[in-house]
Amino acid sequence: MYKVSQNDVIGLIKPAIDAHTLGILAFAQILRDCGIRVEIADEDASKELDALVGRPSIERLVRWVRAKGIDVLGFSYRLDPDRGVELFAQLVEHLKSAKMLAKDGGPIKALWFAGLPPACKKAKQRVPFVDAVFHGDETYQEILEILGLPAHLVPQQASAELAYDKARLEFGTEIVKNRAYLDVAPVDRSGSPGFGTWGERVIDRVRHGIAHNLPPLMRAHVGPYAEDRSQAVALFLDWTSRLAKSGLLDVLSIGSSQLTQSHFGEDWTGLSNGGGVPINSPEEYRRVWQAARPMLVRTYAGTKRVPDMAKMHEQSLDICWHALSLWWFSKLDGRGDNSVLENLVEHFEALRHIASSGKPMEPNVPHHFAFRGCDDVGYIVSGYVAAKAAKLQGIRTLILQTMLNTPKYTWGIQDLAKARALRMLVRDLEGPDFAVILQPRGGLDYFSPDMEKARAQLAAVTMLMDDIEPDDPASPQIIHVVSYSEGVRLADPDVVQESVRITRYALSEYRRLKRKGDMPEYGKHSMVEARTRHLYEEARRMIKFIEATIPEPYSPRGLYAMMKAGVFPLPWLSACRDEFDAAVSQPVQFMHGGVQTVDKDGKPLAVSQRLFGIARNLERMGFAPQEEHGEKN
C-alpha cells in the first residue's frame, strides 16, 4: 500500500450531487494538520463526475489534477452504495484511458475511496488496486495509520487535544472486552411518587433518583418495522412488554412512523410507511401505555395539527414529556406540509398547551441544524433560543437534549465545550419557575457498523456525558441511550437492554476510576475551559444582537426571521433553499475539531464579522436595526 509523504499533494473529489461535504473537510484538515497539502476539487470537476457514465472523457478533472500537481486522488460518495461504486469504477477507467495513473506514466500514485461500508467492500472488489477505503467511522489516529503517516507529524497542540478521544475509545474497548457490564441489574425506583401510575411526573423520578444517589434515568428509542400495520403494532406491544419486565429502561420513546406523525387517524390506503411503529388511534396508544408499566412513555409530535396531537398524546398516552422541533419537521426537511412560519405558529400554540398541562418540553432543535452544516455557535444559539421561547410560553421544566458526536468528526473537547456553553446559557434562564434537566445522547451518525467497535463507542460517549458537568454528581439526570446497533439495523429489546447496561456500567466505572485517580480529569482540562469560554462568548454576542435587533424575537415571526436572515448557517439544506438563501450561502469549514463559519477564502469568521450582513438581511425583511453591527465582509 502506498504510504503518503509530506511532499505529496492530495486531491479530494466527490460528485456535486452528494451534499455530504463535512467528511471531506474533516479528512482534509487531518492531512493539513500533518503539513500535507490538500486540494479539494472545484465545482466544474465535481459536476463532471455527476454524468460520468457514458462520458467520452474527463477533461476538466484531468486539467485540475495536472494544474494542482495531484499525487494521490481520493473519491468520496456517501449516497447509494451501488451508484458510488459504479461512479468510482468509471472514474478509474477514464483515468486509465487518459494515462493518468502512475503505472501508465501518469502523476497519480494512489487512489482512495470513501463511502458507506457496503460501498467500500464492493469498491475493493471492483477496483482491486485501490490503496485505501474509508467507511467514515475511523478515528483521527486510525486515519493516520491507514495512510502510513507517523504520529509525530500531528502538531503537539492537536495531539494533546485528541488524547481525550484516544483515551475514551481505549476505555470503551476495555469496558466491552470482558462483558462485565452484562451483570448490571435494574434500578429500584419504586419509591418514586406515583411510580408507574397514570399522572406520574418525570421530575419526581429525577428528584427521587438524586435523593437516593441512583443512576440517571435511562431513555431509549424503540420502533420495529413490519409491512403489515397490525403486525407491526403487535410486535411493538410485545417489545414494550419485554422492556418493561426487564426493569432496565426508565423512559420508552416510541419510534412512531412518518404516517403516524403526518396522517394520524386518517385512511392510509395507498400511503407508504417509511418505517417505525404505525400507530393510528388513541386506543393503540392506550395499549402501549398499559404494556409499558411501569416505564414512562413518550412519542414524536405530529407534523400537522400539532396542538391537537399534543392534547391527544396527553389523553391517550399520558406522555411524560413533549418534544417540539419548532422550525423542523415541516417543508424545511420534508417531514411535514407546514411552511416554516406555519410550523412555528403551530408549535407556539402547542407550547402554550403543554405549559397548561404542567408537562416538561424537550426542544428537538440544535442537532437538526447541525445535520445541515450549521456551525457550532449556531448550534448553541438555536438551543438557547428554543429554551427561552419555551420559557416565555410558560413551560416550567425543560429537558435539554444535547446530541454529542454531531457531526461525528467533532473532537471530544469541542463536544464538551459546545454542551457546556449551551448549558451555561440555559442556566441563566433557570429560576423558581423554570428548571432544566440535562439529557445528553450519542450522535445518530456516530456508531460504527462494526458491532464491537460500536459497543466501545457507546461506552466512550458515556464518558463525554459525565464530563459535561463533572463537578455535579447528579448530572446528567437523564441519558438518551442510542443503541449500538444503530449504524446497521434497528435495535430489538435485547440490543436496547445491552446498550443500557453498557451505558450504566461505563458511567459507574468511569466515575470509580476518577475517584481513585486512575483516570485523568479530562473534563477539567484548561483546553476545554478555553473552548467553552470562546463558544459561550460568541453565542452570547449573537443572542444579544438578535434580541436588540428583532422585535419580539421569541415569537414565531422572530424565530423565522433569525433563520431567514442567516443566523444559522445551513449550507447543506436540501429543501427551501431559495427561501433561506442567506443561511444556505454562508460557508462553513471543519477546523480544530469543530465547525466554524468562514469567508469565501476559507478564513474563520467571528460572530462580530457576520453581524453586518445579518442586519442587512433583516432590514430587507422589514426589520430596522437600531445600529450597525460589525464590519462588512
Q: Render 366-402 in DSSP notation, one character per residue.
A: HHHHHHTT--HHHHHHHHHHHHHHHHHTT--EEEEEE
Whether residue 189 is found in the same domain as residue 95: no
Separation CA 542–CA 611 (nearest Å) = 8
Separation CA 25–CA 421 (nearest Å) = 24
pLDDT along the chain (633 residues), means of 10: 91 81 85 93 83 75 95 91 92 94 96 93 96 91 88 80 93 96 98 98 98 98 90 96 98 94 90 84 98 98 95 97 97 93 98 97 97 97 99 99 94 97 98 98 92 97 97 97 92 98 98 95 93 98 97 97 98 93 95 94 96 95 56 39
Whether residue 465 is found in the same domain as residue 545: no
CATH number at residue 466: 3.20.20.240
Q: What is the pLDDT of residue 589?
A: 93
Q: Which phi and psi (to 5°) does residue 40 adopt?
A: -105, 130
Helix-, strand-, coil-residue percentages of the chain, each rounded to 5:
50, 10, 40
Whether residue 510 is found in the same domain as residue 556: no
Contact between 288 and 254 (Cβ < 8 Å): yes
> In sequence order, which residues have a C-beta less than 8 Å from that of residue 533 and are 6 or more positions away?
none
Q: Among 462, 489, 522, identify where a domain stops.
A: 522
Compute the Cα dihedral for 543, 591, 446, 118 and give only its sign. Answer: positive
**Which DSSP state fits 434?**
B
Q: Among 109, 124, 154, identify where a domain stops.
A: 154
DSSP string for 94-118: HHHHTT-BGGGT-SB-EEEEEE-HH
Question: 3-class SS at 322?
Answer: strand
Whether residue 139 is found in the same domain as residue 191: no
Whether residue 171 is found in the same domain as residue 267: yes
Whether residue 305 is found in the same domain as residue 444: yes
Whether residue 312 is found in the same domain as residue 242: yes
In a domain, 411, yes or no: yes
| Residue 30 grid coordinates | 487531518
Contact between 405 and 446 (Cβ < 8 Å): yes
pTM of this prediction exceeds 0.75: yes
Tell me which residue range forms the domain holding 96: 9-154
Q: What is the pLDDT of residue 519?
A: 93
> In sequence order, which residues have a C-beta less than 8 Å from that of residue 432 and are 6 or more positions away?
none
Whether residue 537 is found in the same domain as residue 458: no
Whether residue 302 is found in the same domain as residue 440: yes
Structure confidence by residue, pLDDT tens digits, 312-335: 999 999 999 999 999 999 999 988
Q: Using only C-alpha atoms, what is the Rg of the chain?
A: 25
Q: Which residues of 391-403 are buried (b: 16+ CB within 10 A; e: fewer)?
A: bbbbbbbbbbbbb
- Count structural domains, the chain: 3
In a domain, 630, yes or no: no
Q: What is the pLDDT of residue 158?
A: 80
In a domain, 237, yes or no: yes
| Residue 279 grid coordinates | 400507530
| Residue 259 grid coordinates | 404516517
Separation CA 310–CA 346 (nearest Å) = 11
Q: What is the pLDDT of residue 325?
A: 97
What is the CB-side half-sphere exposure of residue 20 using CA atoms within 13 A?
A: 17
**Which DSSP state fits 198?**
T
Q: Residue 324 is inside which H or E element, if any?
A: strand 322-324
Contact between 434 and 398 (Cβ < 8 Å): yes
Separation CA 586–CA 410 (nearest Å) = 20
Separation CA 184–CA 602 (nearest Å) = 49
Whether residue 498 is found in the same domain as residue 532: no
Q: What is the pLDDT of residue 570?
A: 97
Taking Cα atoms as reference points, which of 513, 417, 409 lies closest to residue 78? 409
Whether residue 268 is found in the same domain as residue 346: yes
Q: Among 154, 180, 214, identify where a domain stops.
A: 154
Beta strands 435-441; 217-222: pairing state: unpaired
In a domain, 43, yes or no: yes
Separation CA 561–CA 535 (nearest Å) = 23
Q: Residue 295 is inside which H or E element, if any?
A: none
Separation CA 71–CA 11 (nearest Å) = 7
In a domain, 627, yes or no: no
Contact between 265 and 280 (Cβ < 8 Å): yes
Separation CA 172–CA 110 (nearest Å) = 34
Whether residue 511 is found in the same domain as residue 421: yes
In a domain, 2, yes or no: no
Contact between 208 and 202 (Cβ < 8 Å): no
CATH number at residue 48: 3.40.50.2300
Structure confidence by residue, pLDDT tens digits, 584-608: 999 999 999 999 999 999 999 999 9
Contact between 203 and 185 (Cβ < 8 Å): no
Q: What is the pLDDT of residue 122?
A: 96
Question: 3-class SS at 431?
Answer: strand
